Structure 1
Amino acid sequence: MAKKTFKGRVVLPGKVTGKATVSKQAFNTSGSYTENMFAGRTDAAPCTDASNKELFGKDLAGAILCTPTTVGSTMGGMCLMGMKAIGVGPEALLFSKPIDTLAAAGVLMADIWKEQRIVTIDMLGDEFLEVVKMGDPISVQEDGTVEVG
């Protein structure tokens, strides 16, 4: 696959490289993380959202999560911060659509209260999720440039 570059809006800047973890449906932060957070697991973060067939059971620790947006209860933001605080949260959140308020609250709380950055880029566009596949090499730059492939 040829490399493809996308430019999004920077919510929280940073440089990250790794493999893409992709969900074409909205990522349910509460459904995916709450069970792990209460279990206090610090070795892995298996997705516990059975309605997400792409991610259910996959380890989300250190993920570069590529998704349209997030959904979940009001605990969603706290789940993002909590998972990062116990060492198994995502490294980056890459959204095709604008970030929702729950995810924004979570990444800001992790960054400000815990000094733990979750690099976050939104508005990458629908083509981003058409191109990126599970396990693709991905590189995120401080200016919101995301390279797939």
Structure 2
Amino acid sequence: MKEFHGRVIAPGCVSAPALVSHGGLNTLASFQKALQFGDKKATCGDQNNPDLYGKPMAGKALCLPQTIGSTTGGLVLYCACSMHRQPACLLFSNPIDSLAAAGSVLAAVWLDNVSMPVIDCLGEEFLAYVKDGMTITIQENGVVRVD
């Protein structure tokens, strides 16, 4: 077990299995099937992300360096939350970009009964340590425990 400390963007407590990407998450390409075609598992559709492609993202602790892609990124995250197809949490090794932050914060503020805690600045050691399937637990103060 190892603990990491980051900056809380959207608060919350959760425990979920890790899903790790060492490349940036293209939110539109990744969530397109979930948003347009009703894929409730939010299977990653980004063929350019071999770490995530074809894997279900809903309910997972999505661990990544940053998001990439178009200006729709924030809206895509907000819509995934509104449709209850969001990851259990987003954990960034780097500082979050403004679009992903906007989508996460808007979902936290505007949507009732939806939770997607977001923590950034966890560091490169976090992304090097965590592996798919490990249990991630986020505590109220932003501490991320990896078991």
Give yes or no for contact 2:16–2:88 (8 Å, CA) kept in 1: no
Q: Secondary structure at the match of 1:18?
A: strand
Partner of 1:64 in structure 2? Answer: 61
Partner of 2:22 in structure 1? Answer: 24
Give me the whole-angstrom Cα distance separating, in 1, the residues matched to 2:69 and 2:33.
Answer: 14
Shift of 1:84: 1.2
Shift of 1:57: 0.5
Q: Secondary structure at the match of 1:21?
A: strand
Shift of 1:36: 2.1
Shift of 1:114: 1.7
Q: What runs of 5+ residues in structure 2 fail to find an aligned partner? A: none
Q: TM-score, normalised to structure 2's length?
A: 0.95
Q: Secondary structure at the match of 1:121?
A: strand
* Residue 120 (structure 1) aligned to one of 118, 121, 125: 118
RMSD: 1.1
Give me the whole-angstrom Cα distance separating, in 2, the residues matched to 1:93 and 1:83.
Answer: 13
Counterpart of 2:136 in structure 1: which amino acid?
Answer: I
Shift of 1:113: 2.1
Counterpart of 2:23 in structure 1: which amino acid?
Answer: Q
Shift of 1:33: 0.7
The percentage of aligned residue pairs carrying the same residue is: 45
Partner of 2:104 in structure 1? Answer: 107
Shift of 1:12: 1.2
Give me the whole-angstrom Cα distance separating, in 1, the residues matched to 2:130 and 2:16.
Answer: 13
Give yes or no for contact 1:85–1:114 (8 Å, CA) kept in 2: yes
Shift of 1:18: 1.5
Q: What runs of 5+ residues in structure 1 fail to find an aligned partner? A: none
Partner of 2:52 in structure 1? Answer: 55
Count of matched residue pairs: 146
Q: TM-score, normalised to structure 1's length?
A: 0.93
Give yes or no for contact 2:43–2:56 (8 Å, CA) kept in 1: yes
Give me the whole-angstrom Cα distance separating, in 1, the residues matched to 2:27 and 2:64.
Answer: 12
Q: Does 1:40 align with 2:26?
A: no
Give me the whole-angstrom Cα distance separating, in 2, the residues matched to 1:18 and 1:87.
Answer: 15
